[in-house]
Structure 1
Amino acid sequence: MNDDLSTLSETTPAKDRKFVEALSRGLDVLRAFSQGTVVMGNQDIARITGLPKPTVSRMTYTLTKLGYLSYSPQLEKYQLDSGVLALGYAYVSNLRVRQLAKPYMDEFARSTNTSVGLTCRDRLSMIYVENCRPAETTSLRMDVGVRLPLGTTAAGRAYLAAMKEEERSHVIAALAARSPDTWPETAARLEKAFEDYARHGFCLSLGDWDRNVNAAGVPLHLQDGTLMALTCGAPSYLVSEEKVQNQLAHQLAMLARDIERLGV
């Protein structure tokens, strides 16, 4: 079972009478396709979600009828269809902060020669909703929809650092349950990231997510209470750890404050 689909299911109380279990299962089926596999059969989906195969069969049939999945008779497998694309596009295109922040992110990317991303959280991942990079450089290319792990990336650490303590504890417990073998090291690095945030207002990931990537992250607080995260990064051969820590991270924190002052 994929932990991003299961570990945070406890965010909804088991006895919540308003919670529609069938809808939750249908959405878990759709989420299974975000795990990197484009085409899957019912057995694949059942393995990822932990749902019984008969339940998955009913869900995939219904989602196909509604236009969210398409079925290949030759492969006997499913893939996402245009209904999901329409929902995703509607969300991204109507995200006001994305529209207002993009010119600032473009300028930051150009002046620093880094890749700049705007991200939001989905369970135990951060998802890019915007990415800006200088066209003429070899900076990181992270397309909209790319998922990042919470515990090892600068964006994820910044998001966690800015969460309310009770909610953060809940998510951290889910992270620990997902990767018990590597959790002690991850926990130590998260503690250091939280100290950095308390002291400097940013978090770092210096080769932690990808040993060839140095990055900084800062939270972005929107007026409606939504929490997002900005991140900037580049291959380590282009930007050193010292440059990220002593220059870029501070500039990124100022960029976040500029965007927040836009009133989004």
Structure 2
Amino acid sequence: MVGSRGATAGESVTARALALLGAFDDRHRRLTLTEMAHRAGLPVPTAHRLVAELVRWGALERLPDSARYVVGRRVWDLGLLAPVQTGLRQVASPFLHDIYAATLATVHLAVRDGIEVLYVDRLAGHQSVPVVSEVGSRLPLHSTGVGKVLLAHAPAGVRRGALERLTRITPYTITQPGRLTAQLERVRREGYAQTVEEMSLGGCSVAVPVRGSRGEVVAALGLVVPSLKRDRPRLVAALRVAAEGISRSLR
């Protein structure tokens, strides 16, 4: 099936080139020319010409000894210039390292992108815990700790959209709208969110909000650990101290 962001007849060359780049996502990181053309809704000859130009510019790279392409380094370099990277990520970096030093757990900094959570920074922990996130990756809001924080403080329309798309990722993912709504109310009331094996089996998460100059939630800061049974209060306290530090720096 061609993705919803595919090109249509009459679109500009720029739109078609962007559709080819948009063919890549978390589940499609390496694509052949034919796969790119299909996902972008373009004829293969058109895709062939545009892909060659994108490779020359550095937006795409062809893997050695392979017919598959990946997103090029130049796109990543441009992404680092985005405000969410140069501002928030730079300000938060020392606080993420402080949390990592105190917990040795995987640390996440994330923002909301539509009804998904976008990971803008990550420090990998020493503990053997399954973690599916990477910097730049997107995951569902409803199944991650940072996502639940962002969803709890999102506009009502965003929450409604997310509640209509509650996909089950593990047997423990909360997919009942009423139950998730109650959980989001508790997140707003208690100031933190948690998950237990909702995104990956063997992984639990806890997260807190990061606020901007007007008190609005601009990001979420979280940890992934094997269990929250004993250390949750300590982890929440550490996250809150760091989140407040980031918020002060942003202000």
TM class by shorter-chain length?
Answer: 0.7 to 0.9
Q: State the Cα RMSD in Å.
A: 3.6
TM-score using structure 1 length: 0.72
Which residue type is aligned with residue 30 of structure 2?
A: V
Q: Secondary structure at the match of 1:126?
A: strand
Which residue type is aligned with residue 116 of structure 1?
A: V
Aligned to 1:262: 249
CA distances 1:24-51 after superposition (whole Å, capped 9, x unpaired): 55334323323244431233224545x2
Q: Unaligned 5+ residue runs, structure 1?
A: 10-19
Aligned to 1:157: 148
State the identity as a percent: 24
Structure 1 residue 103, shift from structure 2 partner: 1.9
1:218 equivalent in alignment to 2:205: no
Q: How does 1:44-59 map to 2 (within 5 A)?
A: 44-49=35-40, 51-54=41-44, 56-57=47-48, 59=50
Q: How does 1:93-104 map to 2 (within 5 A)?
A: 95-104=86-95
Q: How many residues of Structure 1 are paired with residues of Structure 2 in the alignment? A: 239
Q: Distance in 1 between matches of 2:77 and 2:123?
A: 23
Q: Distance in 1 between matches of 2:157 and 2:115?
A: 16
Quickly say closer, same or farther: Cα 1:155–1:100, change in 2 above 3 A.
same
1:39 equivalent in alignment to 2:26: no
- 8 Å Cα contact 2:153-2:217 kept in structure 1: no
1:29 equivalent in alignment to 2:20: yes
Aligned to 1:81: 72
Structure 1 residue 242, shift from structure 2 partner: 4.8
- 8 Å Cα contact 1:154-1:203 kept in structure 2: yes
Structure 1 residue 145, shift from structure 2 partner: 2.8
CA distances 1:75-128 after superposition (whole Å, capped 9, x unpaired): 444322232132133348952222222222222222233222111234443232
1:131 equivalent in alignment to 2:122: yes
* Bigger fraction of residues in helix: 1
Aligned to 1:13: none
After TM superposition, the structure 1 stretch with the greater mean CA deviation from structure 2, 124-133 or 149-158, is: 124-133
After TM superposition, the structure 1 stretch with the greater mean CA deviation from structure 2, 192-201 or 125-134, is: 125-134
Quickly say closer, same or farther: Cα 1:217–1:48, change in 2 above 3 A.
farther
Quickly say closer, same or farther: Cα 1:187–1:43, change in 2 above 3 A.
farther
CA distances 1:116-153 after superposition (whole Å, capped 9, x unpaired): 2111234443232222356xx32657543344332211
Q: Secondary structure at the match of 1:185?
A: coil
Q: Secondary structure at the match of 1:218?
A: strand
1:232 equivalent in alignment to 2:223: yes
After TM superposition, the structure 1 stretch with the greater mean CA deviation from structure 2, 35-44 or 138-147, is: 138-147
Quickly say closer, same or farther: Cα 1:109–1:23, change in 2 above 3 A.
same
Quickly say closer, same or farther: Cα 1:221–1:190, change in 2 above 3 A.
same
Aligned to 1:190: 180
Q: Secondary structure at the match of 2:219?
A: strand
- 8 Å Cα contact 1:29-1:45 kept in structure 2: yes
Which residue type is aligned with residue 198 of structure 2?
A: D
Of 173, 192, 195, the match for 1:202: 192
After TM superposition, the structure 1 stretch with the greater mean CA deviation from structure 2, 57-66 or 105-114, is: 57-66
Aligned to 2:8: none
Q: Distance in 2 between matches of 1:89 and 1:210?
A: 28
